[in-house]
């Protein structure tokens, strides 16, 4: 039975009007999301805000998006937006970028040791600025769970459809793409049902445990360990975690590990045994069983079907 969920945010989604921001991307994304309740009156509209650095909300947001820059503007380490983005992400916000917007996420430290993408023409500059990022400029979009990056000036359409799928489901992606006359080929529907657990639930101890799992998913993670991270008793931790995320810790961890493995199978060349080890499985058959229980495919079959083609 699928355990992936769509969650329409109940907190603001902020499109950031950073210095040099592409107006077409800001207003295009706003228009794209505004169409959803018109196409489906039962769907909840997003609380969408376009904010400059001096009008940013101080309360937690559901997601933040840095759009392309058309003036070759690059963020300084001490820019208020950098600190704000890092703080919001630490509080559970989904962090997104399009094209050169990735420089803002990189400056905020949100891409270190993660896969990410940006415009292919920015590859050399980006690698020099952020050598710890696992840059994959050949990909139009990279979803790394709580950080999503898209490459190319017009990739805001890809990001918009991807977020639509995450928040409203695959059927809405199809309806929206048809309405906008956007060709959704290559945007497989399986991507729109990826593991995206809620992070705007407001339970800070649970969020601390989620962050710990994000960073250490390849390590043994037991309920006692996670309860200690959350500073709760084991019984209270399991109750709080399940209420906040909709999943018990063990099921959540399996889904997280499978999601990380999916990305590695799609984008990388490592062996299935190495990927199993990297995501926390010391037994390859156990990994294969867990992977198939979530995706319906063996790791090898999944790689064959969904591996990103380069060139």
For residue range 89-104, list pLDDT tens digits in order: 999 999 999 999 999 9
In a domain, 44, yes or no: yes
pLDDT of residue 67: 97
Residue 212 lies in a domain: yes
Average pLDDT value for residue range 45-61: 94
Clarify whether residues 298 and 164 are in a common domain.
no
If asked whether residues 84 and 225 sit together in one domain, one would say: no
Mean pLDDT, residues 200-213: 92
Banded pLDDT at 188 (limits 50, 70, 90): very low
Total count of domains within the chain: 2
Report pLDDT for 203. 93
> Are residues 63 and 145 part of one domain?
yes
Q: What mean pLDDT is reported for the chain?
A: 89
Q: Is residue 123 part of a domain?
A: yes
Is 40 in the same domain as 151?
Answer: yes
Domain that holds residue 271: 204-306
Distances (CA, A) of 231 to 180, 207, 225, 227, 236: 48, 12, 10, 6, 10
Q: What is the CATH number of the domain that holds 120?
A: 3.40.50.880
Supply the pLDDT for residue 266. Answer: 84
């Amino acid at each position: 039975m699928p355990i992936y969920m769509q969650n329409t945010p109940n907190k603001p989604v902020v499109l950031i009007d950073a210095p040099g921001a592409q107006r077409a991307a800001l207003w295009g994304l706003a228009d794209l999301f505004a169409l959803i309740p018109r196409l489906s009156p039962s769907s909840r509209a997003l609380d969408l805000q376009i904010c400059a650095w001096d009008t940013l909300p101080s309360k937690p947001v559901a997601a933040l998006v840095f759009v392309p820059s058309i003036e070759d503007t690059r963020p300084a380490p001490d820019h208020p937006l950098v600190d704000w983005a890092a703080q919001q992400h630490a509080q559970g916000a989904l962090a997104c970028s399009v094209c050169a917007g990735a420089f803002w996420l990189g400056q905020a430290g949100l891409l270190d040791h993660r896969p990410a993408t940006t415009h292919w023409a920015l590859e050399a500059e980006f690698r020099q600025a952020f050598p710890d990022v696992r840059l994959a400029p050949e990909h139009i979009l990279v979803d790394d769970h709580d950080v999503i990056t898209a490459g190319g000036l017009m990739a805001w359409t890809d990001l918009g459809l991807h977020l639509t799928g995450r928040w409203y489901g695959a059927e809405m992606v199809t309806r929206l793409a048809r309405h906008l006359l956007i060709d959704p080929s290559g945007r497989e529907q399986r991507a729109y049902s990826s593991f995206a657990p809620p992070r705007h639930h407001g339970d800070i101890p649970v969020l601390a445990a989620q962050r710990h799992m994000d960073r250490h998913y390849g390590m043994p993670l037991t309920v006692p360990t996670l309860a200690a991270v959350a500073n709760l008793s084991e019984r209270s931790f399991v109750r709080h975690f399940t209420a906040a995320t909709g999943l018990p810790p063990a099921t959540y961890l399996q889904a997280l590990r499978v999601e990380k493995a999916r990305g590695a199978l799609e984008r990388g060349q490592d062996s299935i045994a190495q990927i199993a080890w990297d995501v926390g499985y010391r037994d390859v058959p156990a990994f294969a069983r867990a992977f198939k229980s979530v995706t319906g495919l063996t790791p090898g079959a999944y790689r064959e079907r969904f591996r990103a083609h380069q060139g």
